[in-house]
Structure formats: C-alpha cells, structure tokens
Structure 1
C-alpha cells in the first residue's frame, strides 16, 4: 500500500501543481484583461473629455457671438434712436423759427420748388394769418428769371409748417413734415455722420 499511497500522493501533488498553474494563468489572464479594460477606460475618458472640452468651447463661442450680436443690436438701436431724435429736434427748431427767419426760409423753399408757369401757394391757417406783407411780391421778384409766378392762396391747408404748391391739379407738398419724410435716408446718413464720425 505504500506504493499506492505514494502514487496517490504524487497524483495529488501534480493536481495541486496543475491547479496552482491554472490559477496563476487565470490570474495573469485576469490581470491582462483588467489592464486592457483600464487602458480602454482611460482612452474613453480622454475621448469624452475632448468632446466635452469641444462642446464647452462651442457653447462659449456661441455665447460670445450672441452677446456680441446683442451688443451691436443695442448699439444700433441706440444710434437709430439718437439719429431720429436729432432729426425730430431739427425739424421742430425749423418750425419754431421766429417770423422773419421762418418766412425767409419759406421764400427760399418756394423759389427752389417753383416750376415754370403760374402756381399757387397754400399755407396753414396759422401761417396765412401771420404772412408778412409783400411776401408774394418778394417771391415773384426772386422768380423773375425762372419764368415762374406764384400766388398766395386765400385758402389754407391742414399742415403744420411749410406750404403746398399747386399747378393746376398737381400738388407738391412742401410742408416740413413731407420734406423731412422724403429726405429721411439722406438726413439719417448726415445725422449719423455728424453724431458718430
């Protein structure tokens, strides 16, 4: 029996050695798998971090662009407001000129606007009531070389300042409001140049 015990012992010994080698191989394989998983996890974390950094950079850039756009929009709106205010103030100053300066300006405007032939000037009721004496004669003296004659109408128009010039059935609105409206773009350009250059 001693031989059998010896064989059994040897088999047990070999089994233990084989089990230890199998366990060691399994540990080595598990360590390799873990190391590969760590590397893959690190690489994936790196990719996620890069994507995250890019997303943050994109969001920041969009935010900067949106803020810049809003700033420019606000600045433009404020400039437009100031330009509009300046033009409105200029129009009001012209309307509020004292009688002599006001009618001197209307005389120049009538001479500039007059066409060849006979026409009629229609003023507001307020301006008609305060029209300087000899105003029609002054205009016609200034128009002598132009071949035009203008008559001051006894009727009036519902305008604030300026006049309406008529030739037969054709009217030209030379009220300050109409003149400022028709020259709005030019006036805005001039006001912008004066205010912001």
Structure 2
C-alpha cells in the first residue's frame, strides 16, 4: 500500500474514532440535559400540585366556613322568630283579659306608678268598655289614701292604642300600652326565654 493510501486510511480511521467520541459526548450531554429538564419539570409539577392542593384546601375551608355561618344565621333567625311569637302571644293574652282581670290590671298598674294623681288616662274604646262605671272613683280614692291628688280623668278623645293605657299630663306621657310593656320586657327577658325554649 502506498503512503497516500496509508494516510487516507489513517484519516478515515481517526475520523471514525472522533465521530464515536463526539457521539458519545453528545449522548452524555443529551442525557444530562434530559435529566436536568426532567428534574425541573418534576419540581414544577410537584410545586403546581402542592399549590393546587393548598388552594383546594383553602377553597374547601372557605366553603365550610361560609356554610357554617349560613346555618348559624338560619338557626338564629328561626330562634328569633320563635321568641317573637312568644312575645306576640303574651300581648294577645293581655288583650284577651276579661273585664275583671283588666280592671284589676289597670288599677294595680296605676297605683304602682309615681304620679301626682291628676293625669289623664288615654285608653281605647274597647278597653274602656271593660272598666266599671265607678272605676275612676275607686282609683282616685286609692290615690288620695296614698297622699296623691286623686283627680284622674279619662281623655275625651278616642285613641287607637292596641290595649293597655297611657297616662298623660302637660304633654308628658307614661306609656303602659301592651305593646310598650311587652317591648320593654323584651330586651330583659329575651335571653331567659331563649334559654327556656332552646336548652337541649
């Protein structure tokens, strides 16, 4: 074989060796790049999953919290409605008093008040009919016996108060209507009534 052939053969052989080296190196680098990118992708995927799980947990907690609040509000509203009905029933019971009970109630209520004894009694026509003819005389005598003026009189005008009475003098009123009496007790008794109704 001539020197030229030998040289050509050596160049080709070296080229083959170099090619194999380059290919091997490229394969190693490719594997490294693939591994790096795979690791990065896995980390991102893990991060996305963690974020999704956290968001899912937060959303779930929000929904549960909102639902709990709605349930509490509905229960509270239902309780308030029941309590309201109890107080309304109390008003109806007061309005349903017969003449004797009503007369006694009005007299005792007036005698318990710190008044001068010359006020006007404001009362609706239906309730006034329940009172006996000598009601004012009896109440005024009782007031005099307590050192009061004993000069109560009925207001001449008709008043549509929903049961009970109002005492009036010089534009100042003591409101003892059934609505006012029950409403004044509401704040004080609401908690107690709720305990009685809803204690399990």
Tell me the TM-score normalized by structure 2: 0.88
Cα displacement (A) at 1:83: 1.1
| 1:23 paired to 2:23 | yes
Match of 1:167 among 166, 169, 194: 169
Q: What are the superposed Cα offsets for residues 117-166 of structure 1, whole Å, 9 maximum, x if unpaired?
A: 42222321112223124322442344322525252416242222111212
Return the structure number with greater strand share: 1
Separation in 1, partners of 2:80, 2:104: 31
Separation in 1, partners of 2:170, 2:42: 91
Q: What are the superposed Cα offsets for residues 29-65 of structure 1, whole Å, 9 maximum, x if unpaired?
A: 0001101111111111111111111000100111111
Deviates more, 1:76-85 or 1:181-190: 181-190
Check 1:190–1:142 CA distance in 2 against 1; reply closer, same or farther (3 A cut). farther
Separation in 2, partners of 1:12, 1:154: 132
Deviates more, 1:78-87 or 1:22-31: 78-87
Cα displacement (A) at 1:7: 1.6
Cross-structure match for 2:77: 77
User: What does residue range 1-197 of structure 1 map to in structure 2 within 5 Å?
Assistant: 2-143=2-143, 144-145=145-146, 147-153=148-154, 155=156, 156-197=158-199
Cα displacement (A) at 1:69: 0.8
- Secondary structure in 2 matching 1:194: helix
Check 1:30–1:90 CA distance in 2 against 1; reply closer, same or farther (3 A cut). same
Separation in 2, partners of 1:23, 1:82: 86
Unaligned segments of structure 2, at least 5 residues = none
Check 1:190–1:138 CA distance in 2 against 1; reply closer, same or farther (3 A cut). farther
RMSD: 2.0
Separation in 1, partners of 2:10, 2:170: 136
Check 1:138–1:121 CA distance in 2 against 1; reply closer, same or farther (3 A cut). same
- Secondary structure in 1 matching 2:165: strand
Count of residue pairs brought into register by the alignment: 197
Separation in 2, partners of 1:23, 1:114: 113
Separation in 2, partners of 1:184, 1:49: 55
